[in-house]
Amino acid sequence: MIVEDALSGFRRLGLAHLPTPLEPLQRLSAHLGGPRLWVKRDDCTGLGLGGNKLRKLDYVLREAIDQGADTLVSGGVVQSNSQRQVAAAAAKLGLACHLAVYHGRLAPSTVEYEATGNALLNRLFGAVLHDVPWNGDRNGAITALADGLRARGHRPYIVPYGVSNPLGAVAYASTLLEIAHQSEALGFLPAAVVHCSGSGGTQAGLVAARRCLPHTRIVGIDIDAEPGRVRADVLAYAEAAAAQLGQPFDPADVEVVAGHAGPAYGVPHQATIEAIRLGAALEGLVLDPVYSGKGLAGLIALVRSGRWTSGQDVVFIHTGGAPALFAYRHLFD
C-alpha cells in the first residue's frame, strides 16, 4: 500500500496547522558552502506555539476523545516542549491536564529555567503540575498519576513521554509525505532529511514512511547523549509503526548520529550555541539549546565534513522548541 493511502486510514483531530511550509535556507547554504539546505517548518504547527509533538498529538488525541477521556496525563522536564503542547491541546479540547514535572535531570537550574518559557505556558494553559524527582524512568510517574486520578473517578488518557509510541510515530509519517509532495513541487529530490532525535517517535515515523522518498536518507541527530538508547527506541517504534501502516521496515534505515549532543541532555555545547546564532542571524530562525539547536549543530558538522556535494539538497526539520530558548538566556549574554 502507498504511504498516503495507509495514513488516510488514521483520523486526526485537526489541531495542527498542516502541511507546514518547506522553505529554502539560501543564506545558511551560502555561508556553509555545501549542499542546498531547506527547512521543514514543523515549529509552525500552530497551537500553543507549536512544534513536532502537536503533529503526533493530532492523531494520538483522537484516540483519547474516542475513549471518552476527561483528563490528559503526561510528563517531562520543567522546560519540556512536549508537555507544553499536551497542555495547550487539553485547553483547546476542554480536557483537564495533569503533568508529572521531573526535577533533577538537569542541574543546576536557574530562576529563568524554573519560571519562564514552557513552564510559564504550562501554567497559562491551566495544567495541574505535580513535581516529582527524576529517577530515569520516563513513564513511571505519569502512569502513577493516571492511576491515582482513575481511582478518584476520572477518565485519564496517558500521553507517553515525548508523545512517543507507535501511534505517535504513525502520525509523524505524515511529515515525510508532506516533504515528498513539497519537494517534488519545488523541483528537487532530497538526498537526506536531518532532524534531532530524543524519545524516538519523530525519527520512527520518518523511517516508517521511507517508501514515499526511497532515495532519501533519514538522519537523526542524537540530542540526549544516549545514541544507543535513542537508536533502540527508534527501531522499536519504527517497526511497530511500519506494521500499522503496512510498510516494509529495514533496520538499516535507522541512522542515529552521535557526537553532537554536548555533555548531556539539556546541556548545550559551543557548537549548539553557534548553530542557534547562525540560524537566527542568517535565516531569522528561532532554535533552542536542547533540541533543534543541537540538531542544526549536527547538520552543520555533517556539511562541514563533506557528507553531501553542492549539487545535492538536504532538508532540516525544525521540530520547534523556541519557548525554551528564553529559559537559557544566560548562554547568550
- Pick 71 or 199: Cβ nearer ligand PLP: 199
Establish whether the linkage from the previous residue to 108 is cis, with ω within 30° of 0.
Answer: yes
Closer CB to ligand PLP, residue 149 or residue 324?
324
Kindly indicate which of the ranges 33-41, 263-271, 306-314, 315-323 contains the residues binding ligand PLP, using the contact rule CB under 6 A.
Answer: 315-323
Active-site positions read 80
**Close Cβ partners of 285 (under 8 Å, ≥ 6 residues apart):** 39, 279, 318
| Shorter beta-carbon distance to ligand PLP: residue 20 or 292 | 292
| Cβ at position 51, least distance to ligand PLP in Å | 5
* 333 contact partners, CB below 8 Å, separation of at least 6: none
CB of 197 to ligand PLP, least distance (A): 5
Strand partners, 220: 195, 256
Q: Does 198 bind ligand PLP (CB under 6 A)?
A: yes
**Rounded to whole angstroms, what are the CA distances from 290 to 54, 155, 256?**
18, 33, 17
Among the candidate windows 28-36, 108-116, 128-136, 194-202, which touches ligand PLP by CB under 6 A?
194-202
CB of 152 to ligand PLP, least distance (A): 29
* Residue placing its CB nearer to ligand PLP in the complex, 182 or 292: 292
Residue 199 touches ligand PLP, criterion: CB under 6 A: yes
Tell me which residue of 199, 213, 141, 137 sits closest to 166, measured CA to CA: 199
Specify the pairing of strand 156-158 against strand 192-197: unpaired
Q: Any contact of residue 200 with ligand PLP (CB under 6 A)?
A: yes
Strand pairing category for 156-158 and 71-77: parallel
- Residue 117 within binding range of ligand PLP, rule CB under 6 A: no
| SS3 (DSSP) at 9 | coil
Q: Does 74 bind ligand PLP (CB under 6 A)?
A: no
| Residue 201 lies near ligand PLP (rule: CB under 6 A) | yes
* CB count in 10 Å sphere of residue 270: 9
Residues in contact with ligand PLP by CB under 6 A are 51-52, 81-82, 162, 164, 196-203, 291-292, 319-321
